[in-house]
Structure 1
């Protein structure tokens, strides 16, 4: 049998994607020309189990325990998130399974939300919202983002969009990235991770947009927060574990830093007894910065590209390949 005679790959949406989301994405892929008999959207664990042995590609929300051991034909795993720290990367590598993420799908909404956080602190909108709820008229003096410095730690798709939006507002953008040769034009000052303390010292706003790895876990602790200082605001849209949460609570309570805008936390949902809820200098949002009505369309574009790469036997053509 020649390559052209080989059957089309089978793509399985695991039930953890969600039945409605999986069914919708399946229809979008068929509209893009993928063979309907080779794209399966599982609604239940039993349906996933029934098809996983024949799946060449697997689309995941989370990975059910033991599923890889039953995936005899698996060549490609597609995560619907940008982060892949929740997946068994070494196991996938050992099995020779390619992994791709969905970097870029959430860049626009997260970038806009980061801009919203910075505007909220600059114009005191979060404090004014509390005043409105209390029916209290108290004028506040607002600032301007123009001329302020934002440090972006992790300049991938999300960090790049943050940099572009900040530039449009006249901010000075410092970017932290290992490969300075791929730093986008929107970054004014390019720095490596070894220069993080210099960036903390310069920044009015420090935005965390890096993946969670062994190197970035606990990246921001007491030393970094002290360098950020009393005029500095921390924005975390990466992972909660990138910042030492106890050190952050202490810095916020003592006003060592001006404030924090947090969409991610060490424990999610954020426990009701967390001290972060009650801090007046903190904005808490429930890990929703990446939400957008356009994500299904963007996911489908990535999936269609990657399905065709697998069908052509060209793993190097996978978009957003991680492994």
Structure 2
């Protein structure tokens, strides 16, 4: 959703724009700044819900729930071998609020965690933090790869054919970032060639039977329609941010030092 800059001319008294998303790339920030409008985002409100989605996706592949569902639909009682999450290495690309929430919820599963971020010197909650220059060194020892980074010029197509070649064949991809962080053709090739064990995709366009990437057809792909962050509690957390900022403005008579202030 974008905001037409011409609409701002009708909001003469607006002093605060509380964005309902973590990203603000769709906003006319320069125009808002020129009008003296403070802008806040919803950073942090996605953490608990998306982190639970990621853990659920990982357990789905670890315990082979996709296969269990197929067997149940056929009323087929046949034993199969599942695995354990414990002892796995989970690489999380992006250590913002969502990435950190994911790592926190993995703490009790006995996994090793590797964080990948632009500024590794800042550290993070993972057992190890590396920069994007060392991405392939992290991928080669990854069992579960979680993408939780923003879409930028640097991350667009980050997971290309070379990255899938580097990942172990038993690795699972979980993408809750943006679809374009992954090169779809490279992903399809990796799945077809059994170069990865599977993928959980919340932010992809899987195509239709008439055309497009055939991701619908893979039994080792879990597709959700960009709903990892959609829970009723999301709006409660968003309202808490707005209420806190309104209270601050009332008490301080200032639009500076707001929570999640972008500008």
Task: Give the structure-1-normalised TM-score.
Answer: 0.73
Q: Secondary structure at the match of 2:54?
A: helix
Deviation at 1:141, TM superposition (A): 0.8
Match of 2:215 among 252, 263, 276: 276
- The answer as to 2:82 corresponding to 1:142 is yes
Query: Contact 1:85–1:213 at 8 Å: present in 2 too?
Result: no
Alignment of 1:256-295 (within 5 A): 256-265=195-204, 267=205, 270-273=206-209, 274-295=213-234
Query: Contact 1:108–1:161 at 8 Å: present in 2 too?
Result: yes
CA RMSD of aligned residues (A): 2.1
Match of 2:103 among 163, 174, 177: 163
Query: Contact 1:83–1:212 at 8 Å: present in 2 too?
Result: no
1:230 match: 169
Query: Contact 1:106–1:292 at 8 Å: present in 2 too?
Result: no
CA gap 1:63/1:232 in 2 versus in 1, 3 angstroms: same
- The answer as to 2:101 corresponding to 1:125 is no
Task: Give the structure-2-normalised TM-score.
Answer: 0.89
Judge which range, 106-115 or 173-182, deviates more: 173-182
Larger radius of gyration: 1
- The answer as to 2:128 corresponding to 1:189 is yes
Deviation at 1:309, TM superposition (A): 4.1
1:14 match: none
Give a deviation string over 1:11-55, Cα, whole Å, max 9, x none. Answer: xxxxxxxxxxxxxxxxxxxxxxxxxxxxxxxxxxxxxxxxxxxxx
Give a deviation string over 1:43-73, Cα, whole Å, max 9, x none. Answer: xxxxxxxxxxxxxxxxxxx334332343344
CA gap 1:70/1:119 in 2 versus in 1, 3 angstroms: same
In the alignment, structure 1 segments of 5+ residues that lack a partner are 1-61
**How many residue pairs get matched?**
258
Query: Contact 1:81–1:101 at 8 Å: present in 2 too?
Result: yes
- The answer as to 2:115 corresponding to 1:175 is yes
Cα distance in structure 2, aligned partners of 1:219 and 1:90: 29
CA gap 1:128/1:174 in 2 versus in 1, 3 angstroms: same
1:3 match: none
CA gap 1:247/1:72 in 2 versus in 1, 3 angstroms: farther
Give a deviation string over 1:130-182, Cα, whole Å, max 9, x none. Answer: 11112223321111111100000111111111111222100000011233354
Query: Contact 2:207–2:215 at 8 Å: present in 1 too?
Result: no
CA gap 1:298/1:208 in 2 versus in 1, 3 angstroms: same
Deviation at 1:90, TM superposition (A): 5.1
Deviation at 1:94, TM superposition (A): 5.8
| Higher RCO, Cα 8 Å, sep 6+ | 2
In the alignment, structure 2 segments of 5+ residues that lack a partner are none
Judge which range, 130-139 or 106-115, deviates more: 130-139
Cα distance in structure 2, aligned partners of 1:90 and 1:291: 29
